[in-house]
């Protein structure tokens, strides 16, 4: 999809971080922006920034829990009824927990997979058939470097993002099977300044954190926060690269070039069939 001006974009996780920057990038291109998030005050701030920077831009917000298939379907139907279609879908909402894999609770798994994996699956399920029917569209799924190389202390997040990689590659191939004129982009950033480390603020009470705060969990949590806060690429830059990929019709987007080197090193470790690849050590 090359022409974005005058089209409609949907951004999940639009209340903060990368979602906010994606919304701004779309608005700068003259798109109508539809935000979806459980963070209603955050969406209000995103809408304010869009309106402030892009006078005359149409930006609307819908409260949405992407882990609910029924809620996402109702959201898609409401957006279609209001705007007559959508052209660019960002399945972007994401959350994270930390700690050794054996310490994660059932609630941890339900929460993170519900948002990070099922949220993407339900977005595809609700929007892609409608895009196929309208004859055009583009889907951008936010995976992560963690979908390609695995660091300790992030088992559920790693598993969710590796699944998004698999799901997105398969989506592109399935669309090719039916000769659908729908573009797909897989966005895989590494660490960058974003509220992902504060995602507990939106965790539902019924899936509250009850895992022990062990010493290793505390260590990994501190490391994550430091890595996020000191990320060298801004969220706005990553968002802009995602939009450029949509305009160019590119599938893979790695904003952090070093990740491709790590993916290659991991492939070498796989070929050698030796020890587990250590992402932090790069070998």
**Which residues, 6+ apart, have CB-to-CB distance to 141 below 8 Å?**
91, 120, 164, 167, 168, 171, 184, 185, 186, 187
Collapsing DSSP states into helix, strand and coil, what is residue 90? strand
Nearest one of 106, 148, 97 to 261, comparing CA atoms: 148
Q: What is the DSSP string of 115-167?
A: IIIIHHHHHHHHHHHHHHHHT-EEEEEE--GGGTS--TTBHHHHHHHHHHHHH
Q: Is 252 a catalytic residue?
A: no
Q: Which is the catalytic residue, given 157, 191, 254, 277?
A: 157
102: its two tokens: 């054996």
Residue 119: burial class (beta carbons within 10 Å; 0-12, 13-18, 19+): buried
DSSP secondary structure code for residue 276 in this structure: P
Q: How far apart are CA 47 and CA 68, in angstroms?
A: 24
Number of H helices, E strands in the chain: 9, 7
Q: How far apart are CA 43 and CA 67, in angstroms?
A: 18
- Alpha-carbon dihedral sign for residues 179, 80, 36, 112: negative
Residue 146: burial class (beta carbons within 10 Å; 0-12, 13-18, 19+): buried
Q: Which residues are catalytically annotated?
A: 157
């Amino acid at each position: 999809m090359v022409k974005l001006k005058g089209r409609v974009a949907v951004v999940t996780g639009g209340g903060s971080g990368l979602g906010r920057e994606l919304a701004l990038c779309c608005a700068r291109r003259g798109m109508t922006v539809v935000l979806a998030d459980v963070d209603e005050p955050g969406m209000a701030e995103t809408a304010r920034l869009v309106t402030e920077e892009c006078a005359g831009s149409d930006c609307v917000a819908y409260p949405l829990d992407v882990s609910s298939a029924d809620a996402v379907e109702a959201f898609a139907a409401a957006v279609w009824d209001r705007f007559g279609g959508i052209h660019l879908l960002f399945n972007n909402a994401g959350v994270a927990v930390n700690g050794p894999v054996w310490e994660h609770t059932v609630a941890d798994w339900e929460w993170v997979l519900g948002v990070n994996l099922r949220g993407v699956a339900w977005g595809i399920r609700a929007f892609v058939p409608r895009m196929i029917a309208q004859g055009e569209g583009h889907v951008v799924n936010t995976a992560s470097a963690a979908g390609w190389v695995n660091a300790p202390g992030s088992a559920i997040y790693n598993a969710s993002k590796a699944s998004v990689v698999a799901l997105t590659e398969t989506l592109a191939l399935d669309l090719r099977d039916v000769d659908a004129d729908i573009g797909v982009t897989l966005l895989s950033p590494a660490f960058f300044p974003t509220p992902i480390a504060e995602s507990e603020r939106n965790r539902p009470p019924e899936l509250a954190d009850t895992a022990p705060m062990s010493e290793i969990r505390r260590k990994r949590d501190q490391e994550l926060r430091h890595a996020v806060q000191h990320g060298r690429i801004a969220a706005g830059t990553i968002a802009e690269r995602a939009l450029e990929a949509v305009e160019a019709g590119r599938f893979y987007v790695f904003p952090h070039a070093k990740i491709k080197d790590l993916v290659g090193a991991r492939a070498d470790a796989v070929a050698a069939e030796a020890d587990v690849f250590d992402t932090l050590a790069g070998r």
